[in-house]
A and B are shown apart, each in its own frame.
Chain A
C-alpha cells in the first residue's frame, strides 16, 4: 500500500491548524504488521489502544515520548511545478541495532500531550521488514514523505 494521509490531517491543514515544518512533535513511529492503516484513524491511540500495535523491542521504546518515536529533522515543503505537486520531506531516520520483530509500516504523527490527542498525519505502508539487530534506516522516497497533488 502506498502512503495515505488521514482525514484528520487534511482537515487540520485546511483550517490552518497544523504546520509540518514548524510545529513541534512531528515524529515518525513504527507499527507492526497487525495494524491496518485507515484514513479515519485520527489519533495515535488508534494504533496503541488496547493491544498496542506499535513496534516494541530492543532498539525501539514504544509509547508517548518513547525513544522509538523519532523527531523528523530537516523538514521542508517543496513545490514541484513540473510534476504539479507539493510535498513534505525530511531527513531519513536510523534506528540503531533494532531487534523488535516485524515492521509493518510507519506513521507520521504530531505528538501533543498523549496518544489520545496526538494526530496521525500519514501512514506509510511498504512491505514488511523483519528486524535482525542491525541498524535500520527509514529511507523516504525521493518525492518526499507526503504530497498533495
Chain B
C-alpha cells in the first residue's frame, strides 16, 4: 500500500545558518539549506515552505546525499535516477507562489528509476531579494509505493557475507 511519511517543522540547519530555527524569520537574499529527511526507497519527496507574510523564493532545489556528512549537493550532478522539478516556486500563476496560503511554496523531486537510492534529501533555497520570510515553517512529505520500501530504506547498511572455506 502506498503511503506518505511526513516530517514537520524541519529546521534550517547546516553551516552558517545553523542557528536559524523553524518558525523564526529568514533574512532576505540569503541561501538556506534544511536538515535532511530520509528518502531512500521512496519515489518522491516534496518540501513545502510556508510563511506568515507574503513572499516568494528566488530559487530552490532539492539536494541528495548520504554518509556521515551526507555530502549534500549531489542533486545537480547525479541526474541518472532522479529529476528535480519545481511545483509552483517562483513562477507566477503556479500553485504555491504565496507562502501564506495552504501548501506554501513546494519543491519536489521524483525518482526516475522508481526509488531514490540516496539516503537523505534536503531543500536548498534562496530567499526573496527584498523580503524576509517571517514565521517560516518547512515541512516534507516522502512518498513510498509500499511499506516494504520504507523498511528497506531504514535498514541502511547491507552486508555481503562471503562463503566459508
Cβ contacts under 8 Å, B163 to chain A: 1-3, 124-126, 141
Q: Is the CB of A140 within 8 A of B162?
A: yes
If A141-B164, A142-B164 touch, whether A131 touches B67 (CB-CB below 8 Å) is no
Q: Is the CB of B118 within 8 A of A144?
A: no
Asked if B129 is at the interface (CB within 8 A of a chain A CB), the reply is no
| Complex-state Cα separation, A137 to B159, whole angstroms | 5
Size class of the contact patch on chain A = 20 to 34
- Nearest-neighbour CB distance to chain B for A39, whole angstroms, equals 15
Asked if B78 is at the interface (CB within 8 A of a chain A CB), the reply is yes
Q: Is the CB of A134 within 8 A of B162?
A: no
Q: Among B40, B152, B159, point to the contact of A136 (Cβ < 8 A).
A: B159
Cβ contacts under 8 Å, A12 to chain B: none
Q: Which residues of B, 75-112, contact A by the 8 Å Cβ criterion?
A: 78, 80-81
| Complex-state Cα separation, A129 to B163, whole angstroms | 13
Q: Which residues of B, 31-60, contact A by the 8 Å Cβ criterion?
A: 40-41
Asked if B66 is at the interface (CB within 8 A of a chain A CB), the reply is yes
Asked if B156 is at the interface (CB within 8 A of a chain A CB), the reply is yes
Asked if B119 is at the interface (CB within 8 A of a chain A CB), the reply is yes
Q: Is the CB of B165 within 8 A of A85?
A: yes
Asked if B158 is at the interface (CB within 8 A of a chain A CB), the reply is yes
New contact pairs (7) apart from A58-B80, A106-B162, A129-B158, CB-CB < 8 Å? A97-B67, A126-B161, A134-B157, A137-B158, A139-B162, A147-B165, A149-B165
